[in-house]
């Protein structure tokens, strides 16, 4: 029996030596991490992921690896497909007659209300966590997409994983989905790229009109990797009218999947004339931003009514939650509504809230607000990912004390008046103490009005950057997708017209009836902007 065991062990040892061992490089000594990194230059995700099979997405045995039919777990180098997506990719060739942008088509794969809950692997180094948050903030600043720490009630979320390789899925997958940012993936642009996939962005060179802009040099593509240069079908992605983007952070570099270090993609047509480069990993391009904003309907028009179950007062909507919560859980619950614990900014708002509570919830005498102590001073809490706001209105009751950590609205039984008093935030160990009903507040989307002397907004100098139909504006200094001459070499002329390296609505030289801009749509050269006049 022992002899049989030794022979089997010997055969297995020889087998491991002979097989293509790099396919196991994702399995480090602990079976979970890849700790190797390039000593010469920065490796791109496709290089890091080459011959890699991370444990979280692969269930390998030696027979699978030795088989000539072993399937690379990644599509186009860094995308993980689900079972349905794999089946779709095997369908027949689709005629290349429709121009498409490399964005998902199915709205079911978009994150609801543009809010993306997330968790983060504790094994990340603090510096890497900081970079991931920086990448999320970059997307937040450029779009309406928000990243929030996951709460118990979130059913779908992104988990940033510290594992072998740089990879992600396309769009919302449902339940917990992974975005891996292992060793070698610490570059800011790589992080933005992988998060972009999770938001619904395919690679740019997968568009149906790709061959008009870049040419695939097949002889330089490594054996077995030509499938990574396919073109997506029209039912998977579509353009929304935005032209091909050489500068997209989602575009392959010129030598991706090369077998000899030479180019696998050659820029042709317009890009060749303008000497356009591909494969940048610095930040979202202008057209990346325009597409994400349209994908998630960021350039929406003003809201006039609150959602069902919310109470409107002036420019805000309020949800009254009579179920008792401590400060942290109450804040998390409001975040789920894309809101925050109520910020009371005026006496009239205070009176409105007190009157509504007394009329509709007479049995509840204490309500949590968003007031929280920070550096010895009370502020309106915005959350870990948002800045806190200073208080502009303070009406303290007799319960105020420097030692308290949060504020509540409490009814004074002696005069039936609601005042602010201090209280503790509370902890799990103290439950059910300090658990009170709470109020969530969500501001209506309302653009500030512009006081125009001309009544048409001719002299507008604000930062509105989309048109009346909701299309993101093209930068005045850009000549793509539309050529123009509004930006003069004379800086004084530019200052006078209020134009420059931005895409804010303007009316240089009074050339049109009211503020306008060039658009990021190929078929729409320019449109008027819907400036709200006071």
Catalytic residues: 194
According to the annotation, is 323 in a ligand binding site?
no
For residues 429 and 326, the answer to whether their CB atoms sit within 8 Å is: no
**Radius of gyration from C-alpha coordinates of the chain:** 28
According to the annotation, is 350 in a ligand binding site?
no
Name the phi and psi angles at 316, rounded to 5.
-130, 160
Cα separation, 59 vs 518, whole angstroms: 51
Nearby residues of 519 by Cβ (< 8 Å), 6 or more positions away: 467, 471, 472, 473, 474, 482, 525, 526, 527
Tokens found for residue 520: 């990021």
List the beta bridge partners of residue 466: 472
Residue 184: closest CA among 353, 355, 38, 403: 38
Nearby residues of 28 by Cβ (< 8 Å), 6 or more positions away: 34, 35, 164
Start-to-end C-alpha separation, the chain:
91
Find tokens 């009218």 and name the residue: 241
Task: Report the C-alpha dihedral over residues 119, 122, 123, 124, rounded to 10 degrees.
Answer: 60
b/e per residue 3-25 (b: at least 16 CB within 10 A)? eeeeeeeeeeeeeeeeeeeebbb
Tokens found for residue 387: 């800045």
Residue 318: closest CA among 310, 327, 330, 306: 310
CB neighbour class for 376 (10 Å; exposed up to 12, middle 13-18, buried from 19): exposed
Residue 145: closest CA among 284, 293, 291: 293
Cα separation, 71 vs 267, whole angstroms: 30
According to the annotation, is 203 in a ligand binding site?
yes
Residue 507: closest CA among 490, 531, 525, 524: 531
Going by the annotation, the residues of the binding site for Zn(2+) are 193, 197, 203
Going by the annotation, the residues of the binding site are 193, 197, 203
């Amino acid at each position: 029996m022992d002899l049989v065991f030794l022979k089997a062990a010997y055969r297995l040892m020889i087998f491991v030596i002979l097989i293509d061992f790099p396919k196991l490089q994702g399995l480090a000594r602990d079976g979970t991490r890849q700790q190797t990194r390039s000593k010469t230059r920065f490796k791109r995700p496709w290089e890091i992921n080459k011959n890699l099979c991370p444990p979280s997405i692969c269930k390998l045995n030696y027979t699978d690896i030795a088989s000539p039919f072993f399937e690379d777990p990644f599509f186009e180098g860094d995308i993980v497909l689900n079972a349905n997506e794999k089946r779709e990719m095997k369908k027949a060739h689709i005629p290349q007659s429709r121009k498409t942008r490399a964005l998902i088509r199915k709205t079911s794969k978009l994150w609801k209300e543009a809010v993306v809950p997330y968790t983060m692997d504790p094994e990340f180094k603090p510096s890497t966590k900081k970079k991931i948050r920086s990448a999320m903030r970059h997307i937040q600043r450029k779009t309406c997409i928000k990243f929030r720490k996951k709460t118990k009630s979130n059913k779908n979320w992104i988990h940033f994983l510290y594992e072998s390789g740089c990879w992600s899925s396309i769009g919302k997958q449902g339940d917990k989905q992974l975005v891996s940012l292992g060793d070698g993936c610490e570059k800011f642009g790589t992080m933005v790229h992988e998060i972009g996939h999770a938001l619904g962005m395919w690679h740019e060179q997968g568009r149906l009109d790709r061959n008009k802009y870049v040419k695939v040099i097949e002889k330089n593509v490594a054996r077995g990797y030509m499938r990574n240069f396919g073109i997506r079908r029209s039912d998977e992605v579509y353009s929304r009218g935005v032209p091909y983007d050489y500068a997209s952070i989602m575009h392959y570099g010129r030598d991706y999947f090369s077998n000899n270090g030479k180019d696998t993609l050659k820029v042709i047509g317009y890009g060749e004339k303008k000497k356009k480069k591909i494969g940048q990993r610095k930040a979202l391009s202008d057209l990346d931003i325009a597409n994400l904003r349209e994908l998630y309907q960021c350039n929406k028009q003003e809201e006039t009514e609150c959602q069902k179950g919310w109470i409107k007062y002036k420019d805000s909507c309020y949800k009254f939650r009579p179920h008792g919560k401590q400060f942290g859980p109450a804040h998390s619950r409001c975040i789920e509504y894309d809101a925050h614990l109520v910020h009371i900014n005026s006496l009239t708002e205070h009176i409105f809230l007190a009157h509504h509570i007394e009329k509709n919830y007479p049995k509840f005498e204490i309500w949590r607000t968003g007031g929280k102590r920070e550096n010895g001073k009370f502020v309106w809490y915005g959350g870990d990912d948002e800045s806190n706001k200073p208080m502009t209105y303070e009406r303290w009751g007799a319960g105020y004390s420097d030692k308290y950590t949060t504020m509540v609205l409490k009814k004074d039984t002696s005069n039936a008046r609601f005042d602010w008093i201090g209280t503790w935030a509370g902890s799990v160990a103290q439950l059910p103490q300090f658990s009170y009903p709470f109020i969530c507040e969500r501001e209506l989307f309302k653009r500030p009005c512009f006081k125009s002397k001309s009544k048409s907004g001719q002299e507008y100098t604000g930062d509105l950057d989309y048109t009346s139909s909701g299309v993101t504006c093209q930068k005045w200094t850009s000549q793509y997708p539309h050529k123009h001459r509004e930006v003069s070499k004379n800086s004084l002329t530019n200052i006078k017209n209020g134009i420059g390296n931005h895409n804010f609505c303007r009316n240089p030289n009074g050339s049109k009836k009211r503020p306008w801009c060039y658009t990021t749509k190929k078929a729409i050269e320019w449109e008027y902007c819907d400036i709200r006049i006071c």
